[in-house]
Amino acid sequence: MPKMTKVFGAILCVLGTVYLIVSTFLYLNSSAYLDYNTGKLQTMSQAGVFYYAMFAFIIFAFGVLLAKDKVLNNDHH
């Protein structure tokens, strides 16, 4: 029977990947990437896309950490 940390880590990896794909789509359709006003490209944080991408990376990294299960594996019996 698999450990619940590995299952929860796999779920977080999938959710992080989906969230990263959505945030990449939002970035490619934002004013940080497209030149709506000539000469006025915004940064990722000004366009409001940076926090979505950062949150997606945090979810994915936490999912990988839980899926590896090396931190929580304390079977010394």
DSSP 41: P
Q: How far is Cα 5 from Cα 53, in angstroms, rounded to an integer?
A: 24
The predicted structure's pLDDT at residue 27 = 86
| pLDDT in the model for residue 1 | 43
* CA 1 to each of CA 4, 5, 6, 66: distance values in angstroms, whole numbers, following the listed order: 9, 12, 11, 16
- Kind plus residue range of the DSSP H or E element containing 12: helix 4-28
Over residues 18-53, the pLDDT tens digits come to: 999 999 898 888 877 887 766 777 888 888 888 988
The answer to pTM > 0.75 is no
